[in-house]
Amino acid sequence: MRSALLSVKGVTRAQVRLETHEALVSYDPSRAKVEDLIKAVAEAEGPARPRQYAAKVKREKPAAS
What CATH number should be reported for the domain holding residue 25? 3.30.70.100
Question: What's the pLDDT at 62?
Answer: 63
Residue 36 inside a domain? The answer is yes
Q: Which domain holds residue 24?
A: 2-45
State pLDDT tens for residues 38-59. Answer: 899 888 887 666 666 677 777 7
Half-sphere exposure (CA, 13 Å, Cβ side) for 20?
6
pTM of the shown model: 0.75
Element (H, E) at 45: helix 34-45
- Residue 48: alpha-carbon gap to chain centroid: 20
8-30 burial code (b ≥16 CB/10 A, e <16): beebeebebeeeeeebebebeee
Residue 53 inside a domain? The answer is no
Residue 20 inside a domain? The answer is yes
